[in-house]
Structure 1
């Protein structure tokens, strides 16, 4: 039985990864921060163990990994990706210090692969789809801390030989995403016949389905790499504007309300060009995104509707519980 350790397993992508690994028969150990949110964490399962720990406590982390002896570590714990997460000290501690501590402990525990998740924000503003060998030009505490963590992982991999690939994720969406994020907010509002406040319709993102991202994470953990510190862009290679995704949501929900563009002010990170260059992931990992945005949106709606309690939780997060579906 394969054994994997996952950080960030109470978050969106991490919770999805945990469910996939369990479905494959893996033994999964979750490393969780004190006071972690419980709503995404799977109910009690025989192959799932949870460990509450401070990831910056080097001695505690080393002792736990020495005891667990995982084959793979998937490091998804992060802070600062959401607009309301602004504490610069916590961002640095979570994204850089914890990454350093966990990676070094993984090396001592003879972990086969340490899969680090980065972000497309590490590139900064580009007027093209950046390749992995371009210099990082991050802006803001979150992007800077993630770029620094990627640099540390890359250096440690090349010095030690341990496989530490970094997957720079683009705009992941799908089941278990934070309700206030764009895709669930659009879907939940449209399902009751209205739209949330909207920014400039030309704002662009590369939206990638969460299960395609999980495929990439698992492949990166198991695939031999000529460069043990390789970086991979994980996106579709196609950008979608806000105007285009609203039109797609209209198509799958039938929402007839009129969008009110610029009812939300432009944000500092908004841009009209944002897409992944995916040739390196395709060549080295044999991975490409398989799910169209329309298909992913439809699957997300079906997931929301299949559980009334879950739908109520999501609608309640956006104060939509009293709205009547149309």
Structure 2
């Protein structure tokens, strides 16, 4: 049998594929549109495997995907494909709704066509990977998000993901599609495109550039190492109850300022400045972004109780290994931080 991964050249998708092949020889079809954040270099170590297939496709290409599903006897779709950067959704919302809502709708249609053709295996599953941002913002002492929290998205990105989640659920209820949904907290780790906070700060720090922090830097996030996210998704795919949603968190609630300070502390140890000063001197506070959610927190007790999953990483070790990865992969960094990326950073943090 075979699984189909959408958005498999992106940050989480490529880590999932690498992790999958570290544990299995089951074939993987990777479909990715290869927009700015899709990078096939992430998968160079598995690209020659006979079990790996790549197709440059968007998830909106229903008929092509339906043919792939049938031709390869796909037993599961894992849907990572999404526009995911909040800042970009604020400056240009439409691509987020095209990909995250219309794209997910058409992918669901491909899955429905496959199932109704009678060619899908009886245990076929559609796993939709979503975000905790659909739940909105929490107060400082509010209980962490549970799966039953109402959706209250505050950014175009979060709104598009919430709409996609509702669509997935509707296809399960209306058409009986065997769907599963996960809501993860903020991921970090290798291969993350450096518009996101952690890789942006690492690369700006060693480049002698300002380390931009929105507002007062006290926005709280729950940080989840991507390897833990991948292990949770494997559990949901294997054992999750159809129609259910599962929250996936890292048990590492930290304000953004503390995350940046932690990165600076690691760099002070592993690549100290010649001046003897701390990288923290480069921290610069910039105007807060519109609609910036104050706090996210994940209650992951359901996946722990039902599926036996808990995160293996702690933030101290995870951020150290992440800094080491970016310092040890300058060629990858150079390839992804050219041209359009530099223009975006200049505009965003001017």
Match of 1:203 among 219, 222, 234: 219
Q: Partner residue of 1:287?
A: 309
Q: Partner residue of 1:20?
A: 19
- Aligned to 2:19, the other structure's residue is in SS state helix
1:80-119 superposed matches below 5 A:
80-85=84-89, 86-107=91-112, 108-109=114-115, 110=120, 112-119=124-131
Change in Cα spacing, 1:247 to 1:164, as seen in structure 2 (3 Å) is: same
Alignment partners' CA distance in 1, 2:111 and 2:235: 19
Residue 138 of structure 1 contacts residue 147 of structure 1 at CA under 8 Å; is this kept in 2? Answer: yes
Alignment partners' CA distance in 2, 1:55 and 1:155: 18
Match of 2:195 among 170, 180, 189: 180
Q: Which moved further from structure 2: 30-39 or 114-123? A: 30-39
Alignment partners' CA distance in 2, 1:135 and 1:280: 17
Residue 118 of structure 1 contacts residue 167 of structure 1 at CA under 8 Å; is this kept in 2? Answer: yes
Alignment partners' CA distance in 2, 1:90 and 1:271: 21
Residue 132 of structure 1 contacts residue 233 of structure 1 at CA under 8 Å; is this kept in 2? Answer: yes
Match of 1:265 among 276, 287, 299: 287
Q: Partner residue of 2:323?
A: 301
Match of 1:66 among 49, 70, 73: 70
- Are residue 216 (structure 1) and residue 240 (structure 2) matched? no
Residue 31 of structure 2 contacts residue 54 of structure 2 at CA under 8 Å; is this kept in 1? Answer: yes
Q: CA deviation at 1:259?
A: 4.1
Q: Partner residue of 2:132?
A: 120
Instruction: Report the TM-score when normalising by structure 1.
Output: 0.87
Alignment partners' CA distance in 2, 1:9 and 1:162: 22
Q: Partner residue of 1:241?
A: 255
Residue 41 of structure 2 contacts residue 332 of structure 2 at CA under 8 Å; is this kept in 1? Answer: no
Q: Partner residue of 1:323?
A: none
Q: CA deviation at 1:237?
A: 3.6
- Are residue 274 (structure 1) and residue 296 (structure 2) matched? yes
User: What do the CA deviations read for 1:6-59 (whole angstroms, capped 9, x no partner)?
Assistant: 001111001111111222222110112266543334343321111122422332
Q: Which moved further from structure 2: 40-49 or 251-260? A: 251-260
Residue 76 of structure 1 contacts residue 116 of structure 1 at CA under 8 Å; is this kept in 2? Answer: yes
- Aligned to 1:84, the other structure's residue is in SS state helix
User: What do the CA deviations read for 1:63-86 (whole angstroms, capped 9, x no partner)?
Assistant: 221212211111000014342244
Alignment partners' CA distance in 2, 1:270 and 1:141: 12
Q: CA deviation at 1:296?
A: 0.9
- Aligned to 2:65, the other structure's residue is in SS state helix
Q: Number of paired residues?
A: 316
Alignment partners' CA distance in 1, 2:84 and 2:263: 27
Alignment partners' CA distance in 2, 1:233 and 1:250: 30
Alignment partners' CA distance in 1, 2:34 and 2:309: 35
Residue 121 of structure 1 contacts residue 143 of structure 1 at CA under 8 Å; is this kept in 2? Answer: yes
Q: Partner residue of 1:322?
A: none
**What RMSD in Å do the two structures reach over aligned CA positions?**
2.5
Residue 33 of structure 1 contacts residue 53 of structure 1 at CA under 8 Å; is this kept in 2? Answer: yes
Q: Which moved further from structure 2: 174-183 or 22-31? A: 22-31
User: What do the CA deviations read for 1:247-288 (whole angstroms, capped 9, x no partner)?
Assistant: 322332216144466621111243442211111121222222
Residue 225 of structure 2 contacts residue 318 of structure 2 at CA under 8 Å; is this kept in 1? Answer: yes
Residue 241 of structure 1 contacts residue 272 of structure 1 at CA under 8 Å; is this kept in 2? Answer: no
Q: Partner residue of 2:204?
A: 189
